[in-house]
Amino acid sequence: MVVQGPYYDDLHDPLLAITGGTAAYADARGQMTLHALDAQGTKYRFTYAISR
């Protein structure tokens, strides 16, 4: 997946646009939310909403 959008260094969970990918996801579109799981910024949860 390829995503684009702003990344925040504070407590906001960024919502990033899915702009493409490879193989089965070459024409993928949708969005991805990035959620920090710890205060150090070493663990994240990626949540995808994909449409083709």
The encoded tokens of residue 41 equal 């910024």
Low-confidence ranges of the chain (pLDDT < 70): 11, 52
Is the whole-model pTM more than 0.75?
yes
pLDDT score for 26: 87
Q: What DSSP state is assigned to residue 38?
A: S
Contacts of 1 (CB under 8 A, 6+ apart): 18, 20, 21, 25, 28, 32, 48
Q: What is the dihedral of CA 22, 14, 44, 11, to 10 degrees?
A: 170
Indicate the domain borders of the chain. 2-51
